[in-house]
Structure 1
């Protein structure tokens, strides 16, 4: 592998380029007209404009990206996260063109991207799943039959879902038919696929996910787990690794079972298997598998010392990695806060615009992944995340203390950001005491 095109933008593109430079692999950036001044464009060995600001004409345009691959002579594509990273058609088109897609095969991606099929697959691999329908329900009678088995409350979810779209909570029988119709309609509008499935609703749980890497040859390793329970509208705000709520026995159970299942699938590349964890029962329930690098991969890197992007590239080059499970050990605790250009006081309204001043708090055990700089203009066309702050220390409390200091020292002006909001969360007594779940913000009346 001599040249890799990064089919993405922002901080993850910068992150990938840095590892490519360390490995002496040439990098190709793609960008929309709105991203002409982005840091990843300046850092890459080559940069190619692929279309207008709107994502459908650029970062989601498979034809434009493949044309950039041909123009640049790149022999591989790294999709990053978001955009086309979990689109089977993109992986398939790369395969057909003889371009190495750095990730799982299109067939594997299709299999794990279909949430109903993923449930069946993981259940067959002896991974615990939430009680619910056996695959997609094809009509309302199928929904009612499932309800008779699992009872209320329940959740109707889109098979091709993500970000909470096509998801409906149902607490009683009177709401069932309407919520079923609404979920299907929203799923069709968002994903072009109106299929849904039904799961038992778990009222109080944490979001625990296991980071895995497979070599596509029946081998896999895990990099332990992360607790991503602090969320707003199903979007993560704070992540930590490892999940300090888990006992060593529970950690061993879920990480080993997950990596075994991933190995049996013949999965290739980095992926994350997500679970709901019910603390009172010490029970895990499979949610989904993300067949890509995650935003929060940084904290798994911090506690293990493993470069996950480098592992992805090693697997893509030779279907193998020179690391064993015994080599991967937990060292301390790491936190990540996502820094967004938005105004929490105004309903988290996005805040695009020109950045004049930037200063990130730094120090031992601090990492900042970002693509912004003084003079950078945040475009209004994409996700509002503009950076991630990671702290690593010997304990969770020390990592929290360090994050407080870093957030307090960080300045990004004059655009609005969630820096103060994150600092508030870091000082919330229930967060500090690790009394958290996926509805933390609502339970503590931080948001409605």
Structure 2
């Protein structure tokens, strides 16, 4: 039996354990000594302890993950999603240790991680890109050329962390002053698209380089770097424009030499689209892909990592299945931590499934989501109504979270039929 180290925590680690057991692998979990939340380890065949504190020093620490893989005799490492899954140092170090990585190569991850390089590659391959610049001097020149607002991002940032919108000259001065305090070349800027929204196109690329669809989704509600609500199929984009995004996504992953599962994100506005970034990892919304394809995406990643060539039409997206997913992010307290979940009730709701692996009564130190609430139905309105009822019926106490923000948006969106919710938000 092959042994796999699940290099993640929480709900995605618990789910990966189930998938690999179904595949006949022996799954081994990891757990930080400093992390009180360890439910994800219970179903695994064993677990490896990680010393250190914080994500950077534990679950996202390449050296400690590779050492854990060596200790347990892992044949492969599966990272799921998050910063570690996008770190090119992980597959590089694993290759040196003779351990397989279930994901893209180090070279592809490095090219995708560097925003300046990824945008340059997209432009070279013919994808539309926004005016952009890297480094203080170039960013200053860009602002002088196109004006404000612009978006500033860390060049190698992950998951939207550190992104800021610069609207005024004062904002720009403050942001550039922060850059002067560090390394200006670590920042990337691009033109801000007013009232734009993000569309992600997820694909699977087999060993022959053939691109297969896994569906598309659009962000409905975003708070800072957090996507609180996503929906599929995409309805806020003209069909012809969406088809061009699918073609652009395929052209990009093929041109990069990517193999496995990846998501190409675009910003859409005023009837046009522009490339944003490419993520060569499991998408956070992977269950939406599974609902529309009937395929276990983690099992698919494993199959592709082993060199599979898929038959034409092996993956078909049923866009008659409407999905809407809400993410109940935890709002950190004054100490930067989530707190202690004293009670957690997730109500049964037809068509709704939850993705949660938090242990009530234990502090939440590293996790940032209470649960993902996924509804599948035959229309967006029905899916949104189910999510609203689930969110409003949830009972979560002990930590601050964004359930009310999601419920208020859904009620005011015009998507949900009147009287679709329960009216009583449990907090």
Q: Considering the TM-score relative to the shorter chain, is it more than 0.5?
A: yes
Residue pair 1:339, 1:385 contacting (<8 A) in 2 also: yes
Residue-by-residue CA offset, 1:25-80 (whole Å, 9 max, x unaligned): 11010001244652211011111111144333321332222121112111111112
1:209 to 166, 180, 200: 200
| Residue correspondences, number | 416
Residue-by-residue CA offset, 1:130-149 (whole Å, 9 max, x unaligned): 1234xx34x52x34543455
Residue pair 1:311, 1:321 contacting (<8 A) in 2 also: no
2:372 to 366, 369, 388: 388
Matched with 2:420 is none
Residue pair 2:103, 2:280 contacting (<8 A) in 1 also: yes
- Residue 358 of structure 1: how far off its partner (Å): 3.2
- Cα distance in 2 between the residues matched to 1:12 and 1:392: 20
Residue-by-residue CA offset, 1:278-318 (whole Å, 9 max, x unaligned): 0xx22111111122112222222222323211111111122
1:353 to 330, 340, 344: 340
- Cα distance in 1 between the residues matched to 2:329 and 2:190: 32
- Residue 108 of structure 1: how far off its partner (Å): 0.7
Matches within 5 A, 1:114-129: 114-129=114-129
Residue pair 1:6, 1:30 contacting (<8 A) in 2 also: yes
Matched with 2:358 is 372
Residue 398 of structure 2 corresponds to residue 428 of structure 1: no
Residue pair 1:216, 1:266 contacting (<8 A) in 2 also: no
Q: Check 1:143–1:422 CA distance in 2 against 1; reply closer, same or farther (3 A cut).
A: closer
SS at match of 1:85: helix
1:293 to 282, 291, 297: 282
- Cα distance in 1 between the residues matched to 2:91 and 2:151: 31
Matched with 2:298 is 309
Residue pair 2:385, 2:416 contacting (<8 A) in 1 also: no
SS at match of 1:18: helix
Residue pair 1:158, 1:184 contacting (<8 A) in 2 also: no
Matched with 2:15 is 15
- Cα distance in 2 between the residues matched to 1:42 and 1:201: 45
Residue pair 1:185, 1:194 contacting (<8 A) in 2 also: no
- Cα distance in 2 between the residues matched to 1:367 and 1:308: 17
Residue-by-residue CA offset, 1:143-200 (whole Å, 9 max, x unaligned): 454345534433343322343426451545x7656533424646x4xxxx74333322
- Higher alpha-carbon deviation: 391-400 or 174-183: 174-183
Matches within 5 A, 1:190-229: 194-229=185-220
- Cα distance in 2 between the residues matched to 1:339 and 1:314: 31
Q: Check 1:404–1:176 CA distance in 2 against 1; reply closer, same or farther (3 A cut).
A: closer
Matches within 5 A, 1:429-448: 429=413, 432=416
- Cα distance in 1 between the residues matched to 2:180 and 2:128: 26
Matched with 1:320 is 309
- Higher alpha-carbon deviation: 84-93 or 145-154: 145-154
CA RMSD in angstroms, aligned pairs only: 2.7
- Cα distance in 2 between the residues matched to 1:183 and 1:325: 48
Residue pair 2:154, 2:188 contacting (<8 A) in 1 also: yes
- Residue 264 of structure 1: how far off its partner (Å): 2.9
